[in-house]
């Protein structure tokens, strides 16, 4: 092959590294011949899908020879009714990652600047680099966003600020007062993207509701997903809430039929299944309490989290410990790609899965 096709790619894309997802259980089973693998690497809902969702999908199967409703009318109506929105504010995506990419494609070009925090979700970096924009990464404060540093980093070239609340992979969070003070100082020409992928799990009384804040600030866009608490990670459906002008622009770069028909009906049903959502939240609450107690007993420091995961400081290079846990059939997530080489991020699972993980952790650190 004489042609270097990598050099022909856009400069920003040439410098990207592919996104590394959590290891699938099937892969570990093939590699090590294991049959009882626990995956706690990708912040998925351990309950499995709602039975009501499964029934709705089964009823929809006969229609998969047809293209889905590209506008997602029924899901948008359901979202608007539940969250007191207008359908014109909504953009649907193939997961919220899809919407984050749409924002970059619509609003960024070479020379623009994007602000996000150290230890922020890796997709912000991917979106920024792929468009040729410049990343302005502000140092974290107590593992979370330093809003004052972000404000100080704004220039006339700043186009987008990415904020995750709660943040992944650290689980840190911002209050309503903090975000309100921040938004009051951000120039209206700068688009703030508030990523609320884990918001359903949070029960802190002063936690910010991005949808309420969005009604006050025309330059605030909120993204949410059905992949976490709603248990639909495999179907990939998320959404953004913004002022209608921004939603209109996103619709111009959105691919037709970017949300499939099964995802559309599943999300609509999941949105109405409040009992399932509350069960998922309670399972997570109990699991998080268990980890906090047992990690302290094992003498392992961790970052306090309000999501459905916890990042644990192993006190040394975490990769060998991760590999040892794989050999015990437990998949967690190393986060060295977030410049956190000593941490392992652990998703909250079912009680028996959490127990397996804690036993594996005790084994690798030599404590019981």
Residues 262 and 297 in one domain: no
Give the predicted TM-score (pTM) of the model.
0.93
Residues 28 and 66 in one domain: no
Tell me, yes or no, whether 334 lies in a domain: yes
Looking at the 3D structure of the chain, how many domains does it have?
2
The whole-angstrom separation of Cα 301 and Cα 323 is 20
Half-sphere exposure of 170 (CA within 13 A, CB side): 22
Tell me, yes or no, whether 78 lies in a domain: yes
User: Which of 256, 272, 288 is at the close of a domain?
Assistant: 272
The domain spanning residue 83 has which CATH number? Answer: 3.40.640.10
The whole-angstrom separation of Cα 166 and Cα 175 is 10
Are the C-beta atoms of 291 and 302 separated by less than 8 Å? yes
pLDDT in tens, 292-348: 999 999 999 999 999 999 999 999 999 999 999 999 999 999 999 999 999 999 999
User: Which of 254, 272, 290 is at the close of a domain?
Assistant: 272
Q: In what order do the strands lie in the sheet with 113-117?
A: 90-93, 238-241, 220-225, 191-195, 158-164, 113-117, 134-138
Residue 359: count other Cβ atoms within 10 Å of its Cβ. 13
Tell me, yes or no, whether 7 lies in a domain: no
What single-letter DSSP state applies at residue 139?
P
Are the C-beta atoms of 179 and 165 separated by less than 8 Å? yes
**Domain residue limits at 95:** 51-272
Tell me, yes or no, whether 9 lies in a domain: no
Confidence of residue 14 (pLDDT cuts 50, 70, 90): confident
Tell me, yes or no, whether 3 lies in a domain: no
pLDDT score of 9 more than 80: no
Across the chain, mean pLDDT equals 94
Pairing between β-strand 113-117 and β-strand 134-138 as defined by DSSP bridges: parallel
79 backbone dihedrals φ, ψ, rounded to 5°: -65, -45
User: Which of 248, 272, 296 is at the close of a domain?
Assistant: 272
pLDDT score of 357 more than 90: yes
Q: Is the dihedral of CA 263, 274, 224, 212 positive or negative?
A: positive
Beta strands per DSSP E along 139-289: 158-164, 191-195, 220-225, 238-241
Cβ contacts of 346 within 8 Å, gap of 6 or more: 40, 291, 309, 310, 311, 312, 332, 333, 357
pLDDT exceeding 90 applies to what percent of the chain? 89
Mean pLDDT over 81-87 rounds to 97
Mean pLDDT over 86-95 rounds to 97
Tell me, yes or no, whether 2 lies in a domain: no
Confidence of residue 368 (pLDDT cuts 50, 70, 90): very low
SS3 98: helix
């Amino acid at each position: 092959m004489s042609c270097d096709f990598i050099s022909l790619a856009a400069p920003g894309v040439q410098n990207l590294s592919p996104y590394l997802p959590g290891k699938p259980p099937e892969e570990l089973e093939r590699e090590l011949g294991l049959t009882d693998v626990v995956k706690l690497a990708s912040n998925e809902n351990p309950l499995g899908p709602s039975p009501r969702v499964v029934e709705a999908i089964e009823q929809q199967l006969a229609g998969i020879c047809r293209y889905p409703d590209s506008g997602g009318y029924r899901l948008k109506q359901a979202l608007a009714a539940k969250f007191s929105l207008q359908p014109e504010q909504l953009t649907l995506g193939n997961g919220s990652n899809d919407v984050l990419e749409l924002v970059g494609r619509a609003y960024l070009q070479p020379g623009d600047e994007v602000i996000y925090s150290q230890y922020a979700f890796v997709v912000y970096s991917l979106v920024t680099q792929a468009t040729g924009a410049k990343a302005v990464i502000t140092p974290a404060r107590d593992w979370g966003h330093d809003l004052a540093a972000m404000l100080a980093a704004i220039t006339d070239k700043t186009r987008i600020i990415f904020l995750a609340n709660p943040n992944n992979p650290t689980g840190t969070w911002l209050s309503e007062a903090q975000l309100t003070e921040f938004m009051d100082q951000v120039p209206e020409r700068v688009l703030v993207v508030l990523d609320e992928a884990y918001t359903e799990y949070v029960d802190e009384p002063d936690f910010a509701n991005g949808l309420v804040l969005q009604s006050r600030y025309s330059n605030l866009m909120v993204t949410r997903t059905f992949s976490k608490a709603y248990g639909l990670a495999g179907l990939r459906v998320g959404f953004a809430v913004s002022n209608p002008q921004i939603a209109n622009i996103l619709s111009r770069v959105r691919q037709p039929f970017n949300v499939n028909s099964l995802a559309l009906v599943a999300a609509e049903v999941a949105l109405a299944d409040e009992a399932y959502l509350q069960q998922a939240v309670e399972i997570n609450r109990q699991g998080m309490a268990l980890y906090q107690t047992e990690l302290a007993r094992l003498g392992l420091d961790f970052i306090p989290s309000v999501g459905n995961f916890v990042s644990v400081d192993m006190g040394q290079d975490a990769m060998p410990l991760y590999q040892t846990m794989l050999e015990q059939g437990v998949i967690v997530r190393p986060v060295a790609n977030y410049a956190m080489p000593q941490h392992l991020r652990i998703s909250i699972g079912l009680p028996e899965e959490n127990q397996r993980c804690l036993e594996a952790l005790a084994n690798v650190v030599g404590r019981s």
